[in-house]
A and B are shown apart, each in its own frame.
Chain A
Amino acid sequence: MISFSGVAKRYPGGHEALQEVSCAIAGGEFAFVAGHSGAGKSTLLKLIAAIERPSAGAVLVAGQNVGALSRAAVPYLRRNLGLVFQDQKLLYDRSVFDNVMLPLAFGELSPREAARRARAALDKVGLLERERAHPVQLSGGEQQRLAIARAVVNRPSILLADEPTANLDAAAAGAILGIFAAFNQVGVTVLVATHDESLMARFAKRVLRLDHGRLAAGAQVAA
């Protein structure tokens, strides 16, 4: 589903975020991307979503070379990806429901069908009762769940999460990972970047370990 071959990313200014990264994530897999802060976890996820482009090598998503996509083609790639960020990127000027509706605004769905989908997504993360609330009225864990609802409302085949539990206590973090696991159960490929070792231990999935931009472990699927 996702493959990196000889990927390097150098940011303007010379910082080498990733070097010679080669790995593959199969469709329907659940994997962690681990490493110290600055190891290149975020960059790895950004390359998949074409938020950044590789300096060398190729990133393939569903057979498409993401690094070579034209600017006009990027939105269509992203509609097939669910993105969850550490800082959620919620819109605070509108309700929980309207936040989830955002990715459906440019789809082909009728308003009625879109609303139905948005409620289904909120239901899956346990926020259906709070649809009229505003993001500021939600707890940290609830805000992250809202971000997940927005990420999955378009029914993406790949879910990417960058430090989704960084600001949460262990219980809330466990709940978030539980939601990811549930989506993975129904066939969604899930890639979670985290530095929380205890969380990775609890979920016992494959771990792609980055160290100073190089893939230190997990390049191959564990037997």
Chain B
Amino acid sequence: MRAWLRQHRRALGAAARKLAAQRSGALLGALAIGIALALPAGGYALLANLRALAGGAQLEPRLTLYLRMEAPRAEAEALRARLSADPRVREARLVTREQALAELAGTEGLAQVVAALKRNPLPDAVALRARQADPALLERLARELRTLPIVQYVQADAAWARRLAAIAGIARFGVALLAALLAFGLVAVTFSTIRLQILTQRAEIEVSRLVGATDAFIRRPFYYLGLLQGLAGGLVALALLWGGLQGLNLQVAELAESYGSGFRLAFLAPGDALAVVAFAAFLGWLGAFMSVSRHLRDI
């Protein structure tokens, strides 16, 4: 066991020295891998940000019931109470026409318009949040509420939510496709790096075989080399992504502040960042594995 650990340590050390010795080549390889990975990682980060931004408002399962103008306040209150007791409803809130008007008046640029109104054109409304986000369930609930005589109009955010989810789905698929394509590129980069390394170490491999080195012993340093290069590439990708987001945030901050928001693009969650590095290291290993399997046979 100790001998086995020592051999792995030696192989890792040898690989690290190789990487350090051909500084510029290894750096370029890691940079190529890093740039290739930064694209899908960046796409993923942007999507995660979009979801965080959109998820707050539009993706919540909300329905707004606009009541008939002539509906008495007591009936509106009764409807709200009945909906609150409905098991499908998490929360029902009565927005009186006065409240709605005040809210409208508070909106920037609309105060004067509201002031010019002779009478309040807004109806009472019940805003409710469903327990389940399933768009189909929401749709059914909306249809049911539409039949109530007191209800003039039901506005469902379900359609909106469905559309956004579909767009997000397409974007996610695109990012996954990009990641898959670039993963092939990454494997190819390591494949050729390791091939070159095998060629330059041809004599050493040949002699090692003659003096009794096992295949595992000969292959091990190359696996580590691929792994380390992938790892370095993953770190480069994270650095590029972080730098890119910092740059974007300068613009985003300006835009967000004009909307009175403190929104900033967030970096990947720690787990996701770790996954990027682990994925890169795995692909490096895979490229090395394929290259070693293909090229060591000829020596």
Contacts and interface: CB of A to CB of B under 8 A. Distances in A.
Main secondary structure of the interface of A (DSSP, over half): loop
A186 interface: no
Contacts of A105: 7, 10, 208, 213, 217
A89 B10 contact: no
Interface in A178-207: none
A76 B204 contact: no
Interface in A75-129: 75-79, 81, 83, 89-93, 102-103, 105-108, 110-111
Nearest to A103: B211
A164 to B, nearest CB: 15
A154 B203 contact: no
B135 to A, nearest CB: 59
A83 B210 contact: yes
A52 to B, nearest CB: 13
A163 to B, nearest CB: 16
B215 interface: yes
Main secondary structure of the interface of B (DSSP, over half): helix
Interface of B: 3, 6-7, 10, 203-204, 206-215, 217
B240 to A, nearest CB: 35
A103 B3 contact: no
Given A75-B213, A75-B214, A154-B212, A102 B3 contact: no
Contact of B203 (A72, A79, A91, A151): A91
A103 B214 contact: no
A150 interface: yes
Contacts of B217: 75, 105-106
Interface in A44-88: 49, 51, 71-72, 75-79, 81, 83
A102 B214 contact: no
A108 B10 CA distance: 13
A91 B204 CA distance: 7
A110 B204 CA distance: 22
Contacts of A92: 203
B3 A108 contact: yes
Given A102-B207, A106-B217, A75 B3 contact: no
Nearest to A111: B6
Contacts of A111: 6
B210 A106 contact: no
A188 to B, nearest CB: 16
Given A105-B217, A106-B7, A106-B217, A89 B207 contact: yes
A96 to B, nearest CB: 14
